Amino acid sequence: MSLADVVRSLSDLRVHGPPYGEFTIARLLKESEGRWTPLFEKVRDGFTGVGNILDSRAKLYKYLGVTSDEDAYVKLLDALEKPSRFERVSTWRDLYREVDSLYDLPMVRYYEKEARPYLTSGVVVGVGVDGVMNASIHRFSPIDARKAVVRLVPRHLYHIFKSSIETGREVPVAVAWGVHPLVLLAAASSPPFGVFELEVASSLMNGLKVMELDNGAVAPFMASVVIEGHLTGEYADEGPFVDIVGVYDRVRRQPVVRVEKIYVLRDDAVVHYLLPAGLEHILLMGFEREAKIWRAVRSVVPRVRKVRLTRGGFGWLVAVISLAKSVEGDAKNALLAAFAAHPSLKIAIAVDEDVDPDDPVSVEWAIATRLRADRGIFVVPYARGSTLDPVALNEEGLTHKIGIDATRPLDADPAFFERARIPES
């Protein structure tokens, strides 16, 4: 299924048209997130744009075919553990036209101090020395008609890049822009090295077709734009760019992609604009980690009602876990399990089942009324955290982590903690 097919299935579309100022699309993405799905007609000749296709759990659960957090977590975790083979399609070239330059693609700037237009939802497929493939989402920005700089963090594609360059080999890559939302979800996940994320997507979607490029990389069939090239040993300045925490990431020297071919669908070329630090970015980046926290916490406490990587923590740095404890110490074990399941986590908060993690006022109320600071707060010093944390102690994300047990003390009278309610008339 192409992204155009996905768009046609949406019921909350609101159409926008040209002219587009430099930041018009970014402003409309921010204005519409959580409210409607914006469709941008004629963003460039032959291109339509769309955004906020994954800005709510309701949309994600619709694509997954589930109705609850637990079902969504189980489906994603099962796909990560049991990826399925995809089908290779050889007759795809007639569906595409070629364009000469990256500047022919309708990339945009999102924030005023960003260095240049960016592709923010591109799925980058890299091929390792041993043939292992990885698919992950990386920000990608042109520095020439046939060159782009890509931000690599120290995960699987970075490992493929480093091990390849050390042997004098460039990395064959494909960059797919405008793909099915579940391909994005799979690419945003972190299965063990060697598990190919497009096979995870195939499991989620009950089958996925891919097209093989001349350089040996593959891309999802019917992706709106496919960029073929090689990740080289050349470096260029990347940034500034707004990352998940909503601040400008610093300028770094990052690898350059040499572009060899640029394919665009002849019909229905719909590209996906993903607002950095927006609701869609937050949900995509954090959902798989939330599922892993849920699984880890369930193994150490009797019952887990809800897990949330919070909006205030940008779906990455702060987790709230609503649980039932049977003995003192359960909550602390749950918090430690959360830190182990999501190493980038900076703050973890445990609350009782009557507190909704989606309601920050309710969470604050639990901290105000149920936390005993002398025994409910602990610090994990000098632990590896997130490189996205602006106050991390070094570039590797070294930090101090905080666990907060805001559950009701079991040795206190429960009557003092009952939430007052007004009955129905």
Please write the tens of the pLDDT for every residue from 356-365.
Answer: 999 999 999 9
CB 351 within 8 A of CB 320: yes
Q: Which residues are catalytic?
A: 243
Residue 226: what pLDDT?
98
| Strands lying side by side in the sheet with 303-309 | 303-309, 318-324, 347-352, 398-406, 377-384
Q: How far apart are the first and last CA of the chain?
A: 50
CB 397 within 8 A of CB 385: yes
Residue 94: what pLDDT?
95
> What architecture is the 83-265 domain classified under in CATH?
Roll (2.30)
Residue 86: what pLDDT?
95
Residue 174's pLDDT band, with cuts at 50, 70 and 90, is: very high
Mean pLDDT of the chain: 94
For the segment 95-116, the average pLDDT, to the nearest whole number, is: 96
The whole-angstrom separation of Cα 34 and Cα 55 is 6
Angle (nearest 5°) at CA 390 between 388 and 392: 85
Residue 154: what pLDDT?
83
Residue 421's pLDDT band, with cuts at 50, 70 and 90, is: confident
CB 265 within 8 A of CB 2: yes
Residue 335's pLDDT band, with cuts at 50, 70 and 90, is: very high
Residue 292's pLDDT band, with cuts at 50, 70 and 90, is: very high
Q: Are strands 209-212 and 303-309 parallel, antiparallel or unpaired?
A: unpaired
pLDDT digits (tens, 9 = 90+) for 35-57: 999 999 999 999 999 999 999 99
For the chain, what percent of residues have pLDDT higher than 70? 100
What is the fold of 280-417? UbiD C-terminal domain-like (3.40.1670)
**CB-count burial class (<10 Å; 0-12, 13-18, 19+) for 414:** exposed
CB 81 within 8 A of CB 292: no
For the segment 387-397, the average pLDDT, to the nearest whole number, is: 82
For the segment 111-122, the average pLDDT, to the nearest whole number, is: 95
Residue 380 CB: number of other CB atoms within 10 A? Answer: 16
Specify the length of the chain in residues: 425
Residue 250: what pLDDT?
87
Structure tokens at 59: 């949309």
Residue 107: what pLDDT?
97
Confidence check: pLDDT of 312 > 80: yes
Residue 410's pLDDT band, with cuts at 50, 70 and 90, is: confident
Q: Indicate the SS3 state at residue 348.
A: strand
Phi, psi for 256 (deg, rounded to 5) = -105, 135
Residues of each domain in the chain carrying CATH 2.30.110.10: 83-265
Which residues lie below 8 Å from residue 373, measured CB to CB, with a gap of 6+?
none
Residue 396: what pLDDT?
77
The whole-angstrom separation of Cα 425 and Cα 314 is 40
Residues of each domain in the chain carrying CATH 3.40.1670.10: 280-417
Which residues lie below 8 Å from residue 229, measured CB to CB, with a gap of 6+?
173, 175, 215, 257, 258, 259, 260, 261
Residue 105's pLDDT band, with cuts at 50, 70 and 90, is: very high
**168: number of CA atoms within 13 Å, CB side?**
0
